[in-house]
A and B are shown apart, each in its own frame.
Chain A
Amino acid sequence: MVRDRKTKIMFLCRQAPYGTIYAYEGLEVMLIFGAFEEDYTAVFVDDGVLDLKKDKDASGIEMKEFSTTYRVMEDYGIEKVYVDGESMKERGLTPEDFMIPVEVVDRNAIAKAMAEQDIVIPF
């Protein structure tokens, strides 16, 4: 089948890291999808904004430190990375707290991007 355009896929990341496996699984899935060269958008809302917080050190809880891997998302073709501004602010965070450059957007912008997708994959 010849397709006239790339499939638009959104990764919706809503969970804090470490307490559950969602954040880690989400990152793995994003990087796997990267191999297929479709059109990707990663959105971090609610506690998902904590996934991108810099200065993490998981050695004390004996878990795999995976957060630095977010830095390769761009190399894997995930170039649109949105952070919900409200979620960021209510956690006392600013864009400087994140380990990668992000676009801070509001819920309306997220809704608009969401409506353009073929698939939304939640984590």
Chain B
Amino acid sequence: MLHTVNKSPFDRSAFASCLATAQADDHILLIEDGVVAVMAGSKFEPAVKNALGKYKIHALGPDLKARGITKVVEGVEVCDYAGFVSLAADHVMCPWL
């Protein structure tokens, strides 16, 4: 399963709800304002680190760059649009809007 989150965890419960629902070995891809969740040093860093033990977490590079987010939590995989497409092609998708 591929979960996508496009809202900031500071603003909406989408990321928390996704983490509560995702199963071991699922992929979570953060896009748009969702990338705020993986900012290094943020309030959500412990939750992200904890989640990395269970799921694979990806963040869309162009969205990170647009927001000036240069440092992400270690272990988070930064992907490009081609990576997004292959993740989507390989999994059933669940978008958390």
Interface of A toward B, CB cutoff 8 Å: 15-20, 46-47, 50, 53-61, 63, 67, 90-93, 97
Interface of B toward A, CB cutoff 8 Å: 6-8, 10-11, 32-33, 36, 39-43, 45, 61-63, 65-71
Q: Could you give 10 example pairs across A and B, Cβ below 8 Å?
A: A16-B36, A17-B66, A46-B10, A47-B8, A47-B33, A47-B36, A55-B70, A60-B62, A60-B65, A92-B42
B62 touches A19 (CB 8 A): no
B63 touches A61 (CB 8 A): yes
Q: Which residue of A lies closest to B9 (CB)?
A: A47
A63, B68: Cα distance in complex, Å: 14
Q: Which residues of A contact B8 (CB under 8 A)?
A: 16, 19, 47
B65 touches A56 (CB 8 A): yes
B61 touches A19 (CB 8 A): no
* Interchain CB contact (< 8 A) of A56 among B36, B61, B68: B68
A17, B10: Cα distance in complex, Å: 14
Min Cβ gap A26→B in Å is 15
A92, B32: Cα distance in complex, Å: 19
B66 touches A91 (CB 8 A): no
A84, B94: Cα distance in complex, Å: 34
